[in-house]
Structure formats: structure tokens, C-alpha cells
Amino acid sequence: MENNKINRRDFIVKGAKTVVMGALALSSLDVVKLVSAAQNTEFEQSNVQKVINLADYPELATSGGYAMITEKVIVIRKSKSKFIAINISCTHKKCDVEYDGSSFECPCHGSTFDNSGKVTGGPASKNLKSYRTTFDVNSNTLTIDM
Ligand code: FES
């Protein structure tokens, strides 16, 4: 019987341990929630994915083909499995550049860019913005991280 009794000191020690364990458990949950929230926020802010079905873009069926998939984004098929997606806003003063099948040229002040968006002639000094693409051969879809 004597062993089942709890004295004041044991009560305080056990109580303190319970409080500490509870705080640690809560802290762990809070950290998980915060990390999750941070990841979701980052995902929402930096990654908008657009998935296109290549069957809807016959121009992209062969290497060298290209098609506008939004008002500002062109996709170029570089090879059987490689695509690039480029924003057509000129990096000089935001005019829409034009693609002739092998390079881009800006109608406003004449900047030129190669077919990967790399600047080849000024006044623009920065490459065109490009987006990561992922080709899924099984579903014949292309995912663009915009
Ligand atoms: S806006 Fe394109 S060269 Fe000036």
C-alpha cells in the first residue's frame, strides 16, 4: 500500500514531466504545421503548373514545331522528348517578341534571341524567361511550371 501512495515531491515531478511532454508534443505538431504551411505557400507563390495535352497541339507533334499555349507563352519542341516553354515578353521593355521558327526578334527595338530564348542582340541584355517543362510520354502531356 505504501508504494501506491504518491508524495508531494513525486506529484510535482510527475506533473512537471507531463507538462514538458505535452509541450514537446505540441511543439512538434506546430513545427510540422509550420513547415507544411511554408511549403504550401511557396508552392502556391512560385509554381503554377499548366498541363497541356499534346494531342491538342498538332504543331508540337514533330521536332522544331511550336505553338502558343497562352497569350504569352510559346512551347517549342526541341526533340522527341525535349520541350522548352518561353515567355515572349521582351526583357528590354516588354514588347512581345516574334518567333520565326528558328529565333526570336522584338519588333519594338530589334533585340534578338535564339530558339532557347538566349539573347543574341540588344538592346535587351537578359534572356527571355523560360519555364521548366516535364514531358510524360505515357499520357502525351507536357507540364509547364509557370
Ligand atoms: S522592347 Fe524589345 S527590344 Fe525594346
User: Which cell numbers in the block locate residue 97?
Assistant: 517578341
Residues 90 and 100: their CA atoms lie apart, in Å, by: 15
Query: Domain 49-145, what fold?
Result: Rieske Iron-sulfur Protein (2.102.10)
Which atom of ligand 1 has the smallest separation from the CA of 97? 2
For ligand 1, residues with CB inside 6 Å are 90, 92-93, 95, 106, 108-111, 123-124
In sequence order, the 6+-apart residues with CB closer than 8 A to the CB of 48 are 145, 146
pTM: 0.68
Per-residue pLDDT of the chain (146 residues), as tens digits, is 445 555 655 655 565 555 545 454 444 444 333 333 333 333 334 468 999 999 999 999 999 999 999 999 999 999 999 999 999 999 999 999 999 999 999 999 999 999 999 999 999 999 999 999 999 999 999 999 98
CA dist 105 → 60, 92, 94, 137 (Å): 21, 12, 12, 32
Query: How is the chain split into domains, by residue range?
Result: 2-46, 49-145
Residue 63 near residue 77 (C-beta atoms within 8 A)? yes
